[in-house]
Amino acid sequence: MTNPTSNFGWQMPTATDLVTDLPADFEVFGQAVDTDFVDLLGGTTGQILSKASATDLDFTWITNDVGDITAVTAGIGISGGGTSGAVTVTNSMATAIDAKGDLIAGTGADTFARLPIGTNGQILSADSAAPTGLTWITNDIGDITAVNVTAPVTGGGASGAVTIGVSAASTAASGVVQLSDSTSTTSSVLASTPTATKSAYDLAALAYAPAFTNNFYAGKNKVINGAMQISQRGTITIGASGYSLDRYQYTVATAVPSGTISQQTFTPGTAPVAGYEGSNYALITVTANNGCTALDFGNPIEDVRTFAGQTATFSFYAKADAAATLGTVYISQNFGSGGSATVFTNLTLNSTALTTAWTRYTATITLPSIAGKTIGTGSNIALYIRQPNSAGVLRNGAYEYWGWQLEAGSTATPFQTSTGSVQGELAACQRYFLRTTPGNIYGTYGFGFASSATAAVIAVNLPVTMRTIPTSLEFSNLGLQSGNSTAGIGASGTLTFEASSSNPNLVMVAATATTGLTANQPTRLMNNNNAAGYLGFSAEL
């Protein structure tokens, strides 16, 4: 009979085998075992057996990958772990979830808790009072039931997500417009920007202003005698304060310097602006400062309302005998007698460096508003230029000026005189100061009558209407003629106003002489055999 086999297919001897068959059976059995266990041969210390395939007893020796993990410690949100054997770790956050929609939220440093789901429609909101800092709330969906629009707004609706817009503007309907910096577009649907408006203004101003060869027109320049053409007083010696060229006044500080202010004549072709032949300029000469700390040269302009609250530009030409630095340039708003306190505003020039060549200096300023101010008698604004200092005192030297101009806007346009003509400038100056100089030895000023041998009243007609009844007069080398008699007025006589009988167009003066007049006879006020004689009246601001 066939011998049985083992689980590994080895043929086994049986108890019934004949004795003669046992050696052979054991040989077969042993050979099978030896063959099947051949893979157990070999190997080195520390190696382990590993299955090489699914075949029974198919092994191979391999090096054991023991790793270096000695423990598994569970951290935040994880539980379990261990130091030996097969360890198990569990996601504690996952086990905290009990139902669909649950959230895990932090409750503090390294702690968390389950936040159950809210009800349908609720939304999650921050809540510092809740354990997790979060809470479910009912969404406030508002109560708008419809969005209705009117032109130029478009769109709208009564349900769902509605959209609104604004239609484009046209000449027939309002709406959205596009801004443009262009000053040449002909579009009827574009809107100009402030930049375009300013550019158009500047272009218009330049188009309106005549060229240098024909730049006389009245009204633009508020500075009277900006071209320094009128100087009725002639050269003046600098004192504590006063007037020099017409409309130009000066003030000093600390001490009175030695020097003069005079009108000079340009050599033909040397005026500052090519094509505009200025005739005269102002010259300030300081021979000794005497400790003076400031000499301000300025021009008052009648009426403090001038450019109040508006932007204006001041420009002028200047040079010096040597390099120097201009002092403060400022404008005062004087509210006159009985008015509010004077307001001073400094101007910032494009440059303060004086050189020996004519240079134009400009400054743009927005004058303070006069709202809430009280305007008195004789109000004005005045432009002042402080002459250069050196080491804290007035610099000795010579300073020349021409072409003063104050105009509206932020651009310094070509210079022009205030009135547009020499006669206009003279008349404008004589509104404030008038000096008559006949120029011959018996030049006549006015007529009247003698009330006695030593007194006469003379009427002097003025060539212009002055700002007010003159407040002072000045004279030199005058005399009176009554009948065939003459009498000098000067060291031995006086000349005074009769204010009560004067007006801005005619001045009555009382003349007193030592003797020589014939009572009740017509009397003439004239030069006393001297062509340098003069008579002047002041109605300055």
* CB 241, CB 297: distance < 8 Å: no
Domain boundaries 433-538, corresponding CATH code: 2.60.40
Distances (CA, A) of 260 to 284, 287, 300, 385, 435: 6, 9, 20, 16, 20
pLDDT digits (tens, 9 = 90+) for 403-455: 999 999 999 999 999 999 999 999 999 999 999 999 999 999 999 999 998 89
Q: Which two tokens stand for residue 430?
A: 């004589």
Which alpha helices (H) appear in 136-193, and where do they start and end?
none
Quote the strand ranges of 221-376, DSSP E. 236-237, 241-243, 249-253, 258-265, 280-288, 294-302, 311-320, 324-325, 329-334, 343-347, 353-354, 359-366
Q: Which two tokens stand for residue 32?
A: 């099978």
* CB 319, CB 266: distance < 8 Å: no
71-108 per-residue burial string, b: 16 or more CB within 10 A, e: under 16: eeeeeebeeeeeeeeeeeeeebeeeeeeeeeebbeeee
| CA gap 231, 261 in Å, rounded | 10
Pairing of strands 397-408, 280-288: antiparallel
Question: Residue 508: which of 438, 439, 460, 443 has the closest Cα?
Answer: 460
Q: What angle do CA 56, 60, 66 make, to 5 degrees?
A: 120
Low-confidence ranges of the chain (pLDDT < 70): 1-3, 5-6, 15, 17-19, 22, 65-68, 142, 205-217, 490-492
Question: Residue 500: which of 509, 492, 490 has the closest Cα?
Answer: 509
403 membership: H or E segment, kind and range: strand 397-408
Report CA torsion sign: 126, 131, 136, 137.
negative
> Identity (one letter) of the amino acid at 212?
F
Question: What's the pLDDT at 214?
Answer: 46
Domain parsing of the chain, residue ranges: 150-157+166-208, 236-430, 433-538
Question: What's the pLDDT at 97?
Answer: 82
| CA gap 163, 398 in Å, rounded | 75
Please spell the DSSP secondary structure of 409-458, one letter per residue.
SSS-PPP--SSSSHHHHHHHHHTTEEEE---STT-EEEEEEESSSSEEEE
Question: What's the pLDDT at 47?
Answer: 83
Pairing of strands 89-91, 78-82: antiparallel
Give Dmax over CA atoms of the chain in angstroms: 201
Question: Residue 370: which of 342, 411, 330 has the closest Cα?
Answer: 342
94 membership: H or E segment, kind and range: helix 92-96
Question: What's the pLDDT at 170?
Answer: 83
SS3 for 467-510, per residue? CCCCCEEEEECEEEEECCEEEEECCCCEEEECHHHCECCEEEEE
Q: Which two tokens stand for residue 208?
A: 């309106």
Question: What's the pLDDT at 1?
Answer: 44
Tell me the fold of 236-430. Jelly Rolls (2.60.120)
pLDDT digits (tens, 9 = 90+) for 341-366: 999 999 999 999 999 999 999 999 99
Question: What's the pLDDT at 389?
Answer: 97
